[in-house]
Amino acid sequence: MINKLVIVLLATLVATQPELVSQSDVALISKRANEIQEKVVEWRRHFHEFPELSNREFKTAEKIARDLKTMGLAVDTGIAHTGVVAVLDSGRPGPTIALRADIDGLPVTERTPVPFASKVKTTYLEEEVGVMHACGHDTHIAMLLGAAEILTHMKDQLRGKVIFVFQPAEEGAPIGEEGGAALMVKEGIIDKYGIDVFFGQHISSNQPIGTITYKLGGIMAASDQFIIKVKGTQTHGSRPWDGVDPITVSAQIIQGLNNIVSRQTDLTKEAAVISVGKIKGGYRSNIIPEEVEMIGTIRTLDTDMQQIIHKKIKKTATAIAESAGARAEVDILVGYPVTFNNLDLTRQMLPSLEKAAGANNVVVIPAVTGAEDFSFFAKEVPSLYFFTGGMNPTGSIPAYPHHTPDFYIDEKGMVTGVKALCLLTLDYMNSGDQF
């Protein structure tokens, strides 16, 4: 009698549980992703050819908003300066899922041998620079637009809402400005749209197309910026002993900063990186200048190590400068926190990623020292962030690193990203285990 009762209860429970995306729907999403691939490529190439820097993505935002409205979606603009948010409301009760793409380019002059290469020039930090989508944000926009088009046509199969978030300034707002995901959160995007979970992805130039990589917990590092001003005493280049040379002192400080990670940090615990990205001082070959300024980045995956490294940077720079009779002023600007994948959500949605790429093509990776301001969304609601492959192992163009003039993405990899966003959405909506 008890066994029969248990069987009846289990049968009732199964019957009342929403079904996840069926194999026929998986096939349908795959079919539609392939059908609109040409359109996704067109989107990508347009945004690639006409990139804009952080907080200046005016034309980018206009086109995104225009194309979303063409799909029949409700669209809000001007969020965090140039952000665009579109809402797909199924009209049925269910969770509210946010899908995010970043939209800004970088101050990099492009060298890739493609006909749609960027020729855009602008001024950045008082210097003329080229502008390039050297981190793949153009593909992120295109993949999210592709997902929006597919999901809009599947509205009758949705439960709840999908919020398409096109976020500006992921690479960092200009000095003195707010921007990016942090500003979106500050402006109340989570509460305004009632977001329950966030999903995001990043294309990878050194990961094979058709693959997805992920990690439980912290997947990307915290990112902070430092500014060090070394103040010496200006003098003639032929008589350095009459002054204090801030260029030489800066060189010693850079060496000292490198030693913090290599000799003073327990790298068996977590990875850490300190890199100087720019150093500027002087105007003539025969004048030792009065001041040198250097800026750089700090990457950490552990909050305790983060605080220790901050202290060591200040101590190292000031002590080296003092030893030479100079003075160092150190400012550390706290940036992005660790990008953290919610453990339960990541485990729950793993089958969705496997449907998108195939189980053998979904791989766990160690944390990376790159950083993402998606981390601000992940601090507010359960989130999942993953990498989609953009490298063709048999292609004619090598896989150059992100943030370089030769950065290149094979567009065939975008199909996987479009499918992943759609399947994550439908599976989560149909799951009985929601956050």
Per the annotation, the verdict on 385 as an active-site residue is no
CATH 3.40.630.10, the chain: domain bounds: 18-220+337-430
Q: Determine the pLDDT at residue 201.
A: 98
Q: Could you count the other beta carbons within 10 Å of the beta carbon of residue 330?
A: 18
Query: Under 8 Å CB-to-CB from 208, ≥6 apart: which residues?
Result: 389, 391, 392, 393
CATH 3.30.70.360, the chain: domain bounds: 233-325
Q: Determine the pLDDT at residue 435.
A: 73
Per the annotation, the verdict on 128 as an active-site residue is no
Q: Determine the pLDDT at residue 237.
A: 97
Site of tokens 């300024």: 293
3-class secondary-structure state, position 288: strand
Q: CB–CB of 154/30 below 8 Å?
A: no
- pTM of the complete model: 0.87
Q: What is the DSSP letter of 160?
A: S
Q: Determine the pLDDT at residue 293.
A: 98
Q: Which of 385, 408, 411, 428 is catalytic?
A: 411
> pLDDT 10s per residue in the chain (435 long)?
444 444 443 344 333 444 567 888 899 999 999 999 999 999 999 999 999 999 999 999 999 999 999 999 999 999 999 999 999 999 999 999 999 999 999 999 999 999 999 999 999 988 899 999 999 999 999 999 999 999 999 999 999 999 999 999 999 999 899 999 999 999 999 999 999 999 999 999 999 999 999 999 999 999 999 999 999 999 999 999 999 999 999 999 999 999 999 999 999 999 999 999 999 999 999 999 999 999 999 999 998 999 999 999 999 999 999 999 999 999 999 999 999 999 999 999 999 999 999 999 999 999 999 999 999 999 999 999 999 999 999 988 899 999 999 999 999 999 999 999 999 999 999 986 777
CATH code for the domain defined by 18-220+337-430: 3.40.630.10
The backbone torsions φ and ψ at residue 24, rounded to the nearest 5 degrees and listed phi first, read -65, -35
User: Any idea of the CA torsion for 355, 357, 360, 363, to the nearest 10 degrees?
Assistant: -110
Q: Determine the pLDDT at residue 18.
A: 43
Q: Determine the pLDDT at residue 240.
A: 97
Q: Determine the pLDDT at residue 1.
A: 40
Helix axes 137-153, 37-49, angle to 10 degrees: 140
CA-to-CA separations, 425 to 29, 85, 95, 162, 342, in angstroms, rounded: 12, 16, 10, 8, 16
Could you say which of 3.30.565.10, 3.30.70.360, 3.40.50.1820, 3.40.50.2300 is the CATH number of the domain covering 233-325? 3.30.70.360
3-class secondary-structure state, position 314: helix
Q: Which of 214, 336, 385, 428 is catalytic?
A: 336
